Structure 1
């Protein structure tokens, strides 16, 4: 039999779904299963056999996509962060063109995503603090989110203001994002007894105040 024919048959779509798409679907199923296990019981309860059982897949499909359980956890964390970024950007894009509305939309979208999924809350706010791999990933994510804030500010206030503010923008954004993270943590665990709307309103006020202050400040020569 022609070798090329064998290869072609192996790569042929099955039921209208290509081999690559089927592999992606299996990977997503494993991540969905990891989301449920880690989000309800923690990373300590995540095993290969348990993960595959939850996903309804043979263990050989696990090794098709992941080398170890830490790789699963990292991929899960990255998927959640990517979804959070998508939700925030979509909210900002659809909000009216003023600083208050765009800040409120971004913060509200992030808070609502967390409200809707307790598993995501545990992964981001508990497991990410106690697992060494995720702790490093979390630090990178904070810088990424801060960069999103800076980018949004630059687009809103314009290139001249962005040039004037310089690297102080990222410094301020790190404070805002880090503070928002801690504030949301306190709100979730009940140590900050305020409503969802109060959380969004007060956080929005701080973001707008800091952004406006930086945009209107003329820095002295040094």
Structure 2
């Protein structure tokens, strides 16, 4: 392998190790030494790839968000051209995709918050991305567009986030179907459908 390929390989191994370890035992409980041992690289090699744990967490989080945005956008694009159908498709795909792998759900909805201020910009970019999806979907359809669509989109993202946090942390989590049904209900009521 070339030097570039070796660096890319180490970086990918660190991202995969962090995906598991940042989800459990969690961001604050995971040391650089443990990340390196899991990825089978040296501590020195870690710093050739990332400036610190926060930069690695940002890379893992950004990847989770990118993948989620892609599958949600595809589901919405393939849904029938009505606001209700697109709400159901987008929410169903979001909740199912995020919860397919509990690590993804934990990183996107719990550990990103626990990481604190170091990831607030990454989290805000993610919220902006999902807000853009909601606004774009509503704006391209003929149904009535509510006032303050941007604020409504932010509130709806917050609602789904809290439902998924409950799924992650609860000793008796609600079923995925109940989370989808509740989220769809909140969206429908918000858009008066």
- TM class, shorter-length: 0.7 to 0.9
**What's 2:128 paired with?**
143
Gaps of 5+ in 1: 1-13, 214-222
- With normalisation by structure 2, the TM-score equals 0.84
- With normalisation by structure 1, the TM-score equals 0.74
- Out of 202, 208, 217, which is 2:188 matched to? 208
Say whether the 8 Å CA contact 2:69–2:129 is kept in structure 1: no
Displacement of 1:76 in angstroms is: 1.2
**What's 1:183 paired with?**
163
**What's 2:25 paired with?**
41
Q: Which runs of 4+ in 1 moved over 6 A?
A: none
Say whether the 8 Å CA contact 1:99–1:156 is kept in structure 2: yes
Q: Distance in 2 between matches of 1:109 and 1:125?
A: 16
Please list the CA deviations of residues 39-59 of structure 1 after superposition, one character each: whole Å capped at 9, or x if unmatched.
Answer: 110112322222122112233
1:189-204 correspondence runs (5 A): 189-190=169-170, 194-204=174-184
RMSD: 2.6
Say whether the 8 Å CA contact 1:186–1:192 is kept in structure 2: no
Q: Which has the higher contact order (CA 8 A, sep 6+)?
A: 2
Say whether the 8 Å CA contact 1:187–1:193 is kept in structure 2: yes
Q: Distance in 1 between matches of 2:64 and 2:12?
A: 12
